[in-house]
């Protein structure tokens, strides 16, 4: 029977490099900021939720618009854009897609940028209710390393990377008796949000199956 876990902390991230830099987003960003701000109006952004990033390299400068009530942050600069949302779950996926689509569509329409491949990531901390967290991590410890000491390991981390995918399994550094998971996957530029959501959900379900856990939603 799967181990029941809660997910007190979770994040969704999407980062996209443009096919080529758009210098209007470095020098004259006001019309684009206005259009993106207006597109996010259904989720009640405020003028104080807009921050200009003027330090760092040219590629790191730009604007960040936050939606505090939704725990959303959208950054765009002359070379890339990045969308993040905290405390996400699959029940709020439709809303997350709507906000993301509104922000990206406004950016594309007002700046003329062409998006490259879409880099996505889901990060979460899974807190166990009964078993110790190390029991989930122990099967991933190579036997050669486990044999280096007579006493059991207290934590471990595994990172596996493929051409367009990466999985990280680790002990949580912020929650007691919890593990940290990060699922990263690259999608082509023309991938739909629904396609990405479906694949990411499958990735999560597959990993939960390997770990032998199930979210307790009660």
Could you state, in order of their start, the residue ranges of all structural domains in the chain? 1-13+118-218, 20-113
d(CA 11, CA 121): 8
What lies within 8 Å, CB to CB, of 31 at 6+ separation is: 110
Residues making up the chain, counted from first to last: 218
pLDDT of residue 146: 87
DSSP class of residue 58 equals: G
Residue with tokens 């969704």: 12
Residue with tokens 């329409």: 109
Taking the chain (218 residues) in runs of 10, the rounded mean pLDDT of each run is 92 97 83 95 95 88 95 96 96 96 96 96 95 93 90 92 97 95 97 96 96 88
Residue 128 CB neighbours (<10 A) = 20
d(CA 10, CA 62): 26
pLDDT of residue 25: 83
Instruction: Show the DSSP H helices in the chain as ranges.
Output: 24-27, 30-39, 93-111, 134-137, 143-146, 193-211
d(CA 16, CA 13): 10
pLDDT of residue 208: 96
Contact call for residues 8 and 133 (beta carbons, < 8 A): no
pLDDT of residue 218: 67
Burial 60-90 (b: 16+ CB within 10 A, else e): ebbbbbbbeebebbbbbbbbbbbbbbeebee
């Amino acid at each position: 029977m799967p181990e029941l876990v809660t997910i007190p902390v979770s994040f969704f991230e999407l980062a996209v490099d443009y096919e080529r830099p758009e210098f209007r987003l470095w020098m004259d960003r006001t019309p684009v900021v206005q259009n993106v701000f207006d597109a996010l109006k259904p989720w009640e952004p405020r003028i104080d939720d807009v921050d200009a990033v003027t330090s760092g390299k040219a590629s790191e400068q730009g604007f960040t618009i936050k939606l505090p009530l939704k725990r959303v942050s959208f950054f765009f600069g002359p070379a890339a854009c990045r969308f993040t949302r905290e405390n996400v779950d699959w029940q709020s996926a439709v809303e997350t897609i709507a906000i993301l689509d509104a922000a990206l569509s406004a950016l594309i329409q007002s700046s003329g940028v062409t998006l490259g491949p879409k880099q996505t990531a889901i990060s979460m901390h899974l807190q166990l209710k009964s078993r110790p967290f190390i029991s989930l991590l122990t099967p991933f410890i190579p036997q050669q390393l486990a044999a280096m000491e007579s006493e059991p390991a207290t934590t471990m981390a595994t990172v596996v990377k493929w051409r367009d995918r990466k999985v990280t399994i680790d002990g949580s550094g912020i929650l007691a008796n919890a593990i940290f998971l990060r699922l990263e996957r690259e999608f082509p530029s023309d991938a739909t949000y629904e396609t990405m959501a479906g694949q990411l959900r499958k990735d999560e379900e597959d990993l939960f199956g390997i770990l032998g856990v199930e979210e307790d939603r009660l």
